[in-house]
């Protein structure tokens, strides 16, 4: 991506709080990603693959190579700057629920930053393992809501919320009529700000919808005390630049991680 295009990306991201799609992987790399994930999915099973494949980037070399792919890091550096930390990562799979079934499996409207206990901007990557579109319930966002600060979250009353905290934003604080979809093909990614209101519906298609969600922060960010949700950061990795700030983020790079920018 050219310097001019990166500048445009930054301007759009600042205005809307998200940007998609962004090409990251070649067709061969995208196929390798799917094969690698399918192997892990077969090992752990669908139940764990739904939301419990957490921080594999410090255990599996292919995952950390993905999270540090040059085509992935370049847009992030345009937003966060040259000194950047991988904070946390998770594979999320939304499996098909038949159209005739009453079961729901959705992600309620929420903000990532509500859960993170951080001071500073967080940018989330949604890296597509599978094609994600409206048919299999791709992510939806409400543009510009990242400018409204952290909104009040309450307990979701509807069953099927995949968020581990079962929270959602109070309905009077967002307008779903302004929501837009973020379709991405396998090997592409979307970016969204940690304060952007987003969510996704139930997958009523016959296709899996798997993505790799990765959180990045500038080294100027720092942890804060959050009595509602105490957090630790055991899997942080300095992916580019230097960390000269007194921010309490340790570099938990695996011994085999030798290709940092």
DSSP calls for 189-238: EEEEETT--EEE----SSS-EEEEEEEEEETT-EE---TTS----TT-EE
Task: Indicate which CATH number applies to the domain containing 7.
Answer: 2.60.120.620
Residue-wise pLDDT tens digits, 197-256: 999 999 999 999 999 999 999 999 998 877 766 678 999 999 999 998 888 899 999 999
Nearest alpha carbon to residue 221 among 123, 99, 143, 139: 123
User: CB–CB of 162/139 below 8 Å?
Assistant: no
CA distance readout (Å), 70 to 95, 132, 252, 255:
30, 22, 20, 20
- Number of folded domains in the chain? 1
Residue-wise pLDDT tens digits, 25-56: 999 999 999 999 999 999 999 988 888 899 99
Residue 56 to residue 254: CA distance in whole angstroms = 11
CA distance readout (Å), 218 to 121, 145, 173, 241:
7, 21, 29, 10
Residue-wise pLDDT tens digits, 163-174: 878 889 999 999
Note whether residue 217 is domain-resident. yes
> What is the value of pTM for the model shown?
0.94
Note whether residue 182 is domain-resident. yes
The residues pairing with 216 across neighbouring beta strands, listed in sequence order, are 86, 123
Task: Identify the domain containing residue 156 by its residue range.
Answer: 3-240
């Amino acid at each position: 991506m050219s310097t001019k295009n990166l500048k445009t990306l930054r301007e759009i991201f600042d205005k809307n709080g998200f940007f998609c799609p962004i090409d990251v992987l070649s067709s061969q790399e995208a196929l390798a990603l799917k094969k690698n994930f399918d192997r892990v999915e077969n090992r752990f099973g669908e139940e764990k693959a739904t939301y419990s494949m957490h921080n594999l980037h410090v255990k599996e070399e292919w995952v950390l190579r993905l999270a540090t792919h040059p085509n992935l890091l370049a847009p992030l550096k345009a937003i966060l700057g040259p000194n950047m930390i991988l904070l946390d990562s998770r594979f999320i799979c939304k499996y098909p629920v038949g159209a005739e079934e009453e079961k729901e499996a959705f992600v309620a409207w929420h903000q990532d930053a509500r859960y993170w206990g951080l001071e500073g901007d967080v940018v989330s990557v949604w890296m597509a393992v599978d094609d994600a579109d409206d048919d299999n319930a791709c992510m939806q966002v409400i543009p510009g809501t990242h400018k409204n600060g952290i909104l009040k979250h309450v307990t979701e009353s509807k069953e099927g919320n995949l968020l581990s905290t079962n929270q959602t934003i109070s309905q009077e604080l967002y307008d779903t009529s302004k929501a837009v979809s973020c379709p991405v093909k396998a090997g592409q990614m979307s970016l969204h700000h940690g304060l952007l209101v987003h969510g996704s519906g139930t997958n009523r298609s016959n296709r899996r919808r798997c993505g790799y969600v990765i959180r990045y922060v500038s080294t100027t960010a720092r942890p804060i005390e959050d009595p509602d949700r105490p957090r630790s950061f055991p899997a942080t990795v300095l992916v580019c630049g230097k960390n000269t700030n007194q921010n309490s983020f340790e570099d938990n790079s695996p011994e085999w991680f030798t290709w940092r920018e």
